[in-house]
Amino acid sequence: MSELYPMLGVEEALERVLAAFQPLEPERVPVLEALGRVLTEDLLADMDIPPLTNTAMDGYAVRAADTDGAGPDRPARLRVIYDLAAGYTTDVAVRPGTAIRIMTGAPLPPGADAVVQFEDTAREGEWVHIFKGVPVGRNVRQAGEDVQRGALILPRGSEVRPQEVGMLAALGHKEVWVHRRPRVAILATGDEVIEIDAPWQPGKIRNANSYSNAAQVLRYGGVPLLLGIARDDVADLTAKIRAGLEQGADLFLTSGGVSVGDFDVVKQVLAAEGEMAFWRVRMKPGKPLAFGHLRGVPLLGLPGNPVSAMVAFELFARPAILKMLGKTRLEKPTVEAVLLDGIRSKDDRRHYLRVSLEEREGVYQARLTGDQGSGILLSMVRAQGLAIIPEEVDHLPAGARVRVMMLDWPERG
Ligand code: AMP
Ligand code: MG
């Protein structure tokens, strides 16, 4: 089968995978469920925010001209005619020689054009002494200074972060239209693989991949559908894949069964039931990745080794999920780092090395987290990033600069 499917470079494989996905159709959700998702509608402001001109300080609403020349030794003296709390309005006007006591957020009363904060005043019965003159507009927030009625505030395609949630709430949008979340079916394969809660038996290993992959699906905004474990035979795998398709999936993930071993049935089933687009990518870990379609559903056949399954997911399933969510920035963020360990690479694949990262004097330092075997999940557990070693590099001395794809951002949430 190898001759039929030439090994692809990472970029070419990614391009072919991404071409199979489109942003999913919109659904209407409560505003909090829009977090991390992408708007499919333009949102315009149907009112000004703030809706009324109001005070930014607790103090006295005044006519600025009445405070002209006021100072510590020459206070202006105004009669307090009203007390206005936030949340209320008044028709009482500030006329020359008067002031209205006012609390932050309360609308500026008619006649007033500035606010003197409490700290610059002293109260004496119905009088207030003002120790500092204020210009027109001081401590006043103008109606519409944040958002103007009719303005396009959030264009379609905007990703909803907490600040967008706050803006949507301020504008009174209880529900919004966003791309729906992709449903991702996850099926493990292998006669040796047993469920998370099965008692251990000789020759068996627990199903790590379905869980790490499901966690990745969740992290990137998809809905995982756990389909269990298929045995290494064509009939069982075919039946489980068919059952999974019935549940409605936008992406099908399998793990294992895609290398050159005798029991590598995923490739056979994919070829028999659907079509295989490519197999094998010039990368390590993750080489025996298969991609194809089953009844119109794209299927990524991830390798079985636990680190390979995760790394192949990061590189191919993650951007596919983000694209279905309507996102356009699909690359994983990278940083430049100094690699503290020297390394050798014996082949012409792109290597992704598990590293921990520490920032020292503004420079990231990357250190290998241990054995880089594709079955060594612990070095993935200890890693914050994957150092990318280009195909043409055969060795790097300690201290060389590398790009590191961040798995997460410590200290940054
Ligand atoms: P395969 O690609 O099926 O030959 O699997 C490669 C290696 O990954 C074998 O050692 C498998 O035992 C291991 N493996 C396969 N599937 C899983 C799984 N779901 N969880 C943990 N390890 C697995
Ligand atoms: Mg297997």
Q: What span, in angstroms and rounded, lies between the C-alpha atoms of 398 and 391?
A: 18
205 in contact with ligand 1, CB cutoff 6 A: yes
Ligand 2 center to 263 CA (angstroms): 7
Is 14:313 a contact under the CB 8 Å cutoff?
Answer: no
Q: What is the rounded CA–CA span in Å between residue 397 and residue 325?
A: 41
- In angstroms, rounded to a whole number, what is the distance separating the alpha carbons of residues 22 and 11? 18
Atom of ligand 1 nearest to the CA of 188: 19
Report the DSSP pairing between strands 59-62 and 43-44. unpaired
- Tell me if 54 CB under 6 Å of ligand 1: no
Taking residues 11-22, what's their average pLDDT?
A: 98
Q: Which ligand is nearest to the CA of 308?
A: 1
> Given pLDDT bands bounded at 50, 70 and 90, which one contains residue 1?
low
The pLDDT value given to residue 408: 85
pLDDT in tens, 262-303: 778 999 999 999 999 999 999 999 999 999 999 999 999 999
Looking at the CA of 229, which ligand is closest?
1
By CB atoms closer than 10 A (0-12, 13-18, 19+), residue 254 is: buried
The DSSP 8-state label assigned to residue 159 in this structure reads B
Determine if ligand 1 sits within 6 Å of the CB of residue 230: no
Return the half-sphere exposure (C-beta side, CA atoms, 13 A cut-off) of residue 177.
10
* Index of the ligand 1 atom closest to the CA of residue 305: 8
Instruction: Please answer whether residues 326 and 48 qualify as being in contact, where contact means their C-beta atoms are separated by less than 8 angstroms.
Output: no
CA of 258 to the centre of ligand 2 (A): 7
Q: Whose CA is nearest to atom 23 of ligand 1?
A: 304
- H-helix or E-strand spanning residue 107: none
Distance 310 CA to ligand 2 centre (A): 16
Q: Report the separation in Å between the CA atom of 351 and the middle of ligand 1, taken as the mean of its atom positions.
A: 20
Radius of gyration for the chain, computed over Cα atoms and rounded to the nearest angstrom: 31
Q: Residue whose CA is closest, atom 10 of ligand 1? A: 305
Mean pLDDT calculated for residue range 215-244: 97
Does a cis peptide bond (omega within 30 degrees of 0) precede residue 285?
yes
Distance separating alpha carbons of residues 53 and 123, to the nearest angstrom? 25
Burial 323-333 (b: 16+ CB within 10 A, else e): bbbbbeeeeee
Cβ–ligand 1 distance for 188 under 6 Å, the answer yes
* Per-residue pLDDT reduced to its tens digit, 220-233: 999 999 999 999 99
pLDDT digits (tens, 9 = 90+) for 144-176: 999 999 999 999 999 999 999 999 999 999 999
Single out the residue of 166, 142, 140 nearest to residue 153, CA to CA.
Answer: 166
Distance 190 CA to ligand 1 centre (A): 7
Cβ 254 under 6 angstroms from ligand 1: no
pTM, 2 dp = 0.94
CA angle, corner 235, sides to 304 and 297, nearest 5?
65
The reply to whether ligand 1 has any atom less than 6 angstroms from the CB of 190 is yes
What tokens appear for 410 in the block?
């410590």
**Distance between CA atoms of 14 and 9, rounded to whole angstroms?**
9
